[in-house]
Amino acid sequence: MNGYNPLRWDCEKRGCFNKLKRPKIEMFADCFPGRINFGDVDAIVEINGKGLMLEWKEGRQELKTGQRLMYERLTKTKLLTILVVSGNAENMNVDGLMVWFAGKTDGWKLYDFNSLKQRIKNWVKWARKDEYARAENQGSRPNSVQQAAVTA
């Protein structure tokens, strides 16, 4: 496996991460009306004010009403894109993808891991589009987000 993983946890040495380190969000249930409560986010990243959220599901299931409404509302501004992935998180086998953007989704599509990675790379290009335009106006392309921020 390669790449940077900010979550460096060895369950074999340190115990179950979910039991030891995840907040017990059910403890806040009485703070909200009805059946509303916190949910977890599997992964999220921000580039240039645009967010990409990854939600992992085991099987292409229909979203619960509250989750569907949240995705519609949070993506309506086009600042957040949500990728709902169907697959096996243990071996990273992907079999489906549902994309939420601008308050809408086209539903589940057949997908595989490599197609998902390409979709994420395409999102990064889209999120960095303004950064490259600013750099080109100043005569250079940024090598990193930090460099782009310095030249802006």
pLDDT tens-digit map of 63-77:
999 999 999 999 999
Q: SS3 of 134, please?
A: helix
pLDDT score at 56? 95
Would you say residue 19 lies in a domain?
yes
Would you say residue 86 lies in a domain?
yes
Would you say residue 2 lies in a domain?
no
pLDDT value at 143 more than 60 = no
pLDDT value at 14 more than 70 = yes
Distance CA 83, CA 98 (A): 6
Distance CA 9, CA 5 (A): 10
Q: Quote the pTM value.
A: 0.78
Would you say residue 28 lies in a domain?
yes
Percent of residues in the chain assigned helix, strand, coil, to nearest 5: 40, 25, 40
- Domain containing 66 equals 11-151
Would you say residue 5 lies in a domain?
no
pLDDT score at 2? 61
Helices (H) and strands (E) in the chain, counts: 5, 6
Residue range 68-112, pLDDT digits in tens: 999 999 999 999 999 999 999 989 999 999 999 999 999 999 999
pLDDT score at 130? 77
pLDDT score at 149? 41
Helix (H) or strand (E) holding 137: helix 113-137
Q: Give the contacts of 47 (CB within 8 A, at least 6 positions apart).
A: 124, 127, 128, 145
pLDDT score at 146? 43
Number of domains making up the chain? 1
Q: SS3 of 50, please?
A: strand
| Chain centroid offset of residue 91 CA | 19
